[in-house]
Copies of this chain bind each other. A is one copy, B any other.
């Protein structure tokens, strides 16, 4: 039940009861300034308005709700660059259990502080997410704890609830652009959109400086690639097979955008929506701008997946250019 072979629309409907016990739907707003820039009708799905500032919290709540009391009390162990960890920390607190989160050295300090503020134990380990993940998985096994795989099906189902909200608010949506880190968001969006209306185009996007998920999707097999992006939310080095499987079935396209375009998109979102986006959260606008010609005339939703940009990154992004 907690880990079905592949999540379905029905599973995502089932997740709603758990998600909305704690959260409320996020807004979907149309911004004339972005419509002008992209040259079509653009709505922003504001997952940055969630507690913890990112869509992930939906998944954590659904995951922990699905555990037995015994599994919960064994404690939750996972690895994260920040938002997934905040989600698990939030859910652990909601269900009165303990979370231990491994993060790479040099992680976003605001995200680390937020996890600790939620009561989680945060352990720095390794140079990137995948190193931290291997270590904490072994650690959970060693102490008999509950290791949370970042693309567990119940996480996908939880985050998929935001895709249902998009289709409820804007049934006439024609294209959804969604950023990819581990792929749980893109998987949830794909399952919902394609099951309800296969004509809805779903386009995934990732940083060209962390292209492993895109390359694996395009090649039809796991490919690793150099990872140097500043956008930790999409900083995947080793692809996730279960989200790859879903994305191969459903995605219409998967594009790469350069970090410099992501940084420009952070500036544009601040200017035209007055929302702070982290790098991952701005990937969808960067992709929409790149796909301008293709999106013409299409009612397009871009997912602002998270807002947890550090002040240091914001300063350097604003200093780069006078937009």
Contact = CB atoms under 8 A, between A and B. Distances in A.
Interface of A: 24-25, 27, 29, 31-33, 46, 48-49, 51, 53, 110, 113-114, 116-118, 267, 270-276, 278, 307-311, 314-315, 318, 323
A267 B311 contact: yes
A275 B323 CA distance: 20
Given A24-B24, A274-B309, 8 more contacts: A32-B114, A32-B116, A32-B118, A33-B114, A110-B272, A274-B276, A274-B278, A274-B308
Contact of A29 (B25, B51, B310): B51
A311 to B, nearest CB: 5
Contact of A274 (B116, B117, B272, B307): B307
Contacts of A110: 33, 271-272, 274
A49 B46 contact: yes
Contact of A33 (B117, B307, B323): B117
Contacts of A27: 24, 49, 51
Given A24-B27, A25-B24, A33-B117, A53 B274 contact: yes
Nearest to A54: B274
Contact of A48 (B25, B113, B274): B274
Contacts of A51: 27, 29
**Count of this chain's copies in the oligomeric assembly:** 2
Q: Which of A25, A267, A273 has the most CB of B within 10 A?
A: A273
Nearest to A109: B271
Contacts of A53: 273-274
A121 to B, nearest CB: 15
18 contacts: A24-B24, A29-B51, A31-B117, A32-B114, A32-B116, A32-B117, A33-B113, A53-B273, A267-B311, A270-B276, A274-B307, A274-B308, A274-B309, A275-B307, A276-B276, A311-B318, A311-B323, A318-B318
A27 B309 CA distance: 20
A310 to B, nearest CB: 8
Q: Which of A29, A311, A318 has the most CB of B within 10 A?
A: A311
Nearest to A27: B49
Contacts of A49: 27, 46, 49
Contacts of A276: 270, 274-276
B117 A271 contact: no
Contact of A271 (B25, B271, B311): B311
Contacts of A270: 276, 311, 314
A119 to B, nearest CB: 10
B311 A32 contact: no
Q: Which of A51, A53, A271, A318 has the most CB of B within 10 A?
A: A271
